[in-house]
Structure 1
Amino acid sequence: MSKMATETSQRLRSGAVIAVAMGIMNLATYGYTVLAAHTIGKEPYGAFSALMGALLVISVLSLGLQATGARRISSAPDQVVAIERVVLSVGLRSALVLAALGFAIAPLLNAVLHLESLPTALLVGLTAFPLTYMGAQLGVLQGERRWGPLAAVYLAQGLGRFGFGAVLIVIRPGEFSAILGVALGAWLPVVVGWWALRRPRTGAPHSEGHPGLDLLREVGHSSQALLAFFALSNADILVARATMSDSEAGLYAAGLIMVKAVLFLPQFVVVYAFPSLSQESSNRRTLVLALAMSAALGLVAVLAVAVLPGLALQFVGGDDFADIKGDIWKFAIVGTLLSMLQLLVYSALARRQGRAILFIWTALAVLVGLALSVATATSLVMVVVAVDAVLFLGLLTMALAQARPGVQIPAETRPA
């Protein structure tokens, strides 16, 4: 077998490992979400979904750490040991700060989201620490392309949430138990990540140092971009929870189960492609292939939901949410658009495209403004489809223009 054939075979196997691990993680995560929807009731589930939206927004620092660590290591493999040390150190301090912030804003979350349970809101801070530190661990493993340990961390993330959460909500149904399961499950992948990184890799090159301050600035830049994306993808449920009736907000939260399922269906594409997106020689080709794969998976999901709405209804919560049955395919479209937007956001991070962040924040402002003017779940999902579609076209045009041959990453943004 030729060297090229061997390398291709290894890449396919590595991609398959990540795809399977993240598929199981997402299946466990959304299996838990569906179990919660069926078990805790419509109104408690609306509160649970709103808190999960808040956690996703809070976790952007974790994703910023992961993106920065992966980009730096894949772009500067001669500095892997120094980068790992800095990323893990920054990750630990950031986790402590974000956990403290989560505890501090708990009373505000309790009031704004109408939880009527401060202990439930405090669980956001308890979850923030492991979620943030896990991002630093994932960034190191992803940048080094250590796909086996990376897959193990993702598996632990999904299975930990399902294992702890399922037991808790069966024993005592309610939003507190549902969020507590998420908080406890978030610690399992941190343990797995620690185990994978506990010993130095003898084959990894060493370097004298790495510019930690520069890395911190990039973490901030990456986190801001990801904050914009996750705020965009979760602002709708927060607006629904704050302005709609509990019944309508619960219906919309059920539809979001489909959105998140379709959004994370091709998530392995982002994880596997990101190190290549950081390399100028393969950026455009990788982006086009990744977008095509995400679009194909999304199209399959939309068609399946349109043909089998009854089965889709059971997936998002069952007969209690029957009023949303005819609109579930629209939520699948939202998930498809968001999955491709996520790829474009990571492509922008890889090439340090600052204008993309402005586009996303502008779209968020437009989305919130329009969302405040509607009063039903059906109307809100159509608003989200329109805003996401326009944003996708704008970011795609920018990405293809700046990823064409001959367009270089600015020197000041390249690894030191």
Structure 2
Amino acid sequence: MSLRVPSNTSLRRLVPFITILSNVLSYLLFLVAARLLDRATYGETLALLNVVVVATIPAFAIQTVVARRTATGAVGPRLLRSSAIVGLGCALLIALASPVLVEFLHLPGYMGVISGALTVPPLVVLGFAQGIAQGNERWGLLCGAVLLMGVGRVAGGIAGLVVAESSTGALVGTAVGLMIACLFVLRPSVRMLHHSRLDETQTVRGLFVETAHAAHAHGAFLLLASLDLLIARNVLTADQAGWYAAGNVVFRAALWLPQPVATLLFPAMSDTRRHRHASRQGIAVVGALVAVTVGVCVAFGGLVSLVIGGNSFEDLADDVWMFAVAGGALALTQFCIYAGLSLQRRGRLTLVWACIGAEFVAAYALGFGDTPHQLIGAVAVIVAISAVIAVAQALIESPERSRRPLGAKVNATQASQAGPKTTEPL
């Protein structure tokens, strides 16, 4: 009797489940921290974990570029080596920025930020692996890479919290866990890269330029996704910032719950013939998930606050729905940004920067940063307006107006008609 190996189509259905599971695992770290730490230290820990979110910018950029290039047959020489340079360079930048981050976030020392910098190289390796799998529609490898990233990050972070009971311990553990996770995905992703079609017309410069544009897009979005928590840490009292950090868990749940939709539809949206249908389908699914999330928070706010922080955050119950609205609106904006990136369009980033500027003005100039309730209310209104505009742009724009990427002379149709695959020099 032989075991039946799941087909690639069956594995594709697992992608949303695995992605959601990975995100749910991430919230275990927040829940453990809420129960081990006091409010002030919890706020500090959440602020530092947002440094790790910033550290995912190069990883997301590499994943986007690698996925698009493998999906369209535009893989260039030295792709892996160039990705490694991006990861190491970004880690160095975060380390150099540690004095500024320590001052702005009122942190007790540099080790937490340095540990956040150490997460960048393994995150880039994991992003590279996910991009290779996503572009080739190899859903088994994608599921494995996503799950390993979630388990490594959370298991390491929890271990660090248990041992040290400090924000620095959580960040050190997270870095170690991610390094272990990337060891498992590096070999199969490199093997798949060797079987990818090589386009000799692609240049390393073109790769770096495209990665820079993708990093700009992801960086601006992640800055927006983390900005309200960073502002709260800067302008509110330690106790208030801890309350806001607990509510931010709901914000992130609403933001990342629809993430598998973009992951699954990105290859289809990269094809101009399928882009319009895929993007509209994605907007409908993401919108439905957002509506359900907000509805649950409105109906069961007390239960949600109890799950997040136990009895320490009972006063959060009446406000969790505002965090859900803010996170859900940002999820819609994120999907529309992915839809634009699939066709090498970056005009929608203007909305992201407008929201960033609006949050600064609201918090520092208009007085909406005086209390945590005012701050989340202002953020929810700002990102909801941006989501409406982003969805309208995505529905109206024509995919035929997309530009040809830098150095790319092979589109998806030509790639499907090309000859045998060749091995790429690393």
Q: TM-score, normalised by structure 2?
A: 0.89
For 1:399, the equivalent position in structure 2 comes to: 394
For the 8 Å contact 1:87–1:136, the answer to whether it is kept is no
- Per the TM alignment, residue 116 of structure 1 is displaced from its structure 2 partner at its CA by 0.9
What's the RMSD between the two structures over aligned residues?
2.0
- Per the TM alignment, residue 236 of structure 1 is displaced from its structure 2 partner at its CA by 0.6
- Per the TM alignment, residue 134 of structure 1 is displaced from its structure 2 partner at its CA by 2.3
Counterpart selection for 2:28 from 26, 31, 41: 31
Mapping for residues 381-396 of structure 1, pairs under 5 Å: 381-396=376-391
- Per the TM alignment, residue 31 of structure 1 is displaced from its structure 2 partner at its CA by 1.3
Task: Please give the alpha-carbon distance, in whole angstroms, between the structure 1 residues aligned to 2:114 and 2:225.
Answer: 23
For the 8 Å contact 1:21–1:154, the answer to whether it is kept is yes
For 1:367, the equivalent position in structure 2 comes to: 359
Determine if the alignment matches structure 1 residue 278 to structure 2 residue 270. yes
The answer for unaligned runs of 5 or more in structure 1 is 1-8
The answer for unaligned runs of 5 or more in structure 2 is 1-5, 410-426
Task: Please give the alpha-carbon distance, in whole angstroms, between the structure 1 residues aligned to 2:406 and 2:342.
Answer: 10
Mapping for residues 20-59 of structure 1, pairs under 5 Å: 20-59=17-56
- Per the TM alignment, residue 364 of structure 1 is displaced from its structure 2 partner at its CA by 0.9
Mapping for residues 65-104 of structure 1, pairs under 5 Å: 65-76=62-73, 79-80=74-75, 83=76, 85-104=77-96
For the 8 Å contact 1:164–1:181, the answer to whether it is kept is yes
Q: Which amino acid is the alignment partner of residue 231 of structure 1? A: L
Q: Deviations over 1:121-155 (max 9, x none)?
A: 22122112212332222222211111111110111
Q: Which amino acid is the alignment partner of residue 319 of structure 2? A: D
Task: Please give the alpha-carbon distance, in whole angstroms, between the structure 2 residues aligned to 1:366 and 1:244.
Answer: 18
Structure 1 moving runs of 4+ over 3 Å: 9-12, 200-209, 411-414
- Per the TM alignment, residue 180 of structure 1 is displaced from its structure 2 partner at its CA by 1.7
Task: Please give the alpha-carbon distance, in whole angstroms, between the structure 2 residues aligned to 1:207 and 1:412.
Answer: 13
For 1:126, the equivalent position in structure 2 comes to: 118
- Per the TM alignment, residue 64 of structure 1 is displaced from its structure 2 partner at its CA by 1.0
- Per the TM alignment, residue 255 of structure 1 is displaced from its structure 2 partner at its CA by 0.5
Comparing 194-203 and 22-31, the one that deviates more: 194-203
For the 8 Å contact 1:92–1:133, the answer to whether it is kept is yes
For the 8 Å contact 1:40–1:169, the answer to whether it is kept is no
Of all paired residues, the percent bearing the same amino acid is 25
For the 8 Å contact 1:75–1:415, the answer to whether it is kept is no
For 1:323, the equivalent position in structure 2 comes to: 315
For 1:237, the equivalent position in structure 2 comes to: 229
Distance verdict in 2 for CA 1:130–1:412, change over 3 Å: closer
Please state whether the residue corresponding to 1:115 is helix, strand or coil: coil
Mapping for residues 242-261 of structure 1, pairs under 5 Å: 242-261=234-253
Comparing 177-186 and 228-237, the one that deviates more: 177-186
Q: Which amino acid is the alignment partner of residue 356 of structure 2? A: L
Counterpart selection for 1:415 from 394, 404, 408: 408
For the 8 Å contact 1:258–1:328, the answer to whether it is kept is yes
For 2:131, the equivalent position in structure 1 comes to: 139
- Per the TM alignment, residue 24 of structure 1 is displaced from its structure 2 partner at its CA by 1.6
Task: Please give the alpha-carbon distance, in whole angstroms, between the structure 1 residues aligned to 2:405 and 2:234.
Answer: 43
For 1:184, the equivalent position in structure 2 comes to: 176
For the 8 Å contact 2:159–2:170, the answer to whether it is kept is no
Task: Please give the alpha-carbon distance, in whole angstroms, between the structure 2 residues aligned to 1:58 and 1:110.
Answer: 16
Comparing 20-29 and 103-112, the one that deviates more: 103-112
Q: Deviations over 1:210-244 (max 9, x none)?
A: 22211211111111111111111111111111111
Task: Please give the alpha-carbon distance, in whole angstroms, between the structure 1 residues aligned to 2:78 and 2:307.
Answer: 42
For the 8 Å contact 1:40–1:175, the answer to whether it is kept is no
Task: Please give the alpha-carbon distance, in whole angstroms, between the structure 2 residues aligned to 1:90 and 1:239.
Answer: 34
Please state whether the residue corresponding to 1:390 is helix, strand or coil: helix
Determine if the alignment matches structure 1 residue 288 to structure 2 residue 288. no
Counterpart selection for 1:265 from 242, 257, 268: 257
- Per the TM alignment, residue 397 of structure 1 is displaced from its structure 2 partner at its CA by 1.9
Q: Which amino acid is the alignment partner of residue 213 of structure 1? A: R
For 1:3, the equivalent position in structure 2 comes to: none
- Per the TM alignment, residue 412 of structure 1 is displaced from its structure 2 partner at its CA by 5.5
Distance verdict in 2 for CA 1:287–1:200, change over 3 Å: closer
Mapping for residues 87-236 of structure 1, pairs under 5 Å: 87-199=79-191, 204-208=196-200, 210-236=202-228
Q: TM-score, normalised by structure 1?
A: 0.91
Task: Please give the alpha-carbon distance, in whole angstroms, between the structure 2 residues aligned to 1:341 and 1:87.
Answer: 29
Please state whether the residue corresponding to 2:165 is helix, strand or coil: coil
Distance verdict in 2 for CA 1:329–1:203, change over 3 Å: same
For 2:347, the equivalent position in structure 1 comes to: 355
Q: Which amino acid is the alignment partner of residue 335 of structure 1? A: G
Distance verdict in 2 for CA 1:200–1:121, change over 3 Å: closer
For the 8 Å contact 2:8–2:138, the answer to whether it is kept is no
Q: Which amino acid is the alignment partner of residue 270 of structure 1? A: A
Task: Please give the alpha-carbon distance, in whole angstroms, between the structure 2 residues aligned to 1:214 and 1:126.
Answer: 27
For 2:372, the equivalent position in structure 1 comes to: 377
Please state whether the residue corresponding to 2:388 is helix, strand or coil: helix
Q: Deviations over 1:10-67 (max 9, x none)?
A: 6752432211211221111111211112212211111111112222223212111111
Please state whether the residue corresponding to 1:318 is helix, strand or coil: helix
Q: Which amino acid is the alignment partner of residue 352 of structure 2? A: I
For the 8 Å contact 2:91–2:117, the answer to whether it is kept is yes
- Per the TM alignment, residue 207 of structure 1 is displaced from its structure 2 partner at its CA by 4.5
Task: Please give the alpha-carbon distance, in whole angstroms, between the structure 2 residues aligned to 1:192 and 1:291.
Answer: 34
Task: Please give the alpha-carbon distance, in whole angstroms, between the structure 2 residues aligned to 1:262 and 1:10.
Answer: 31
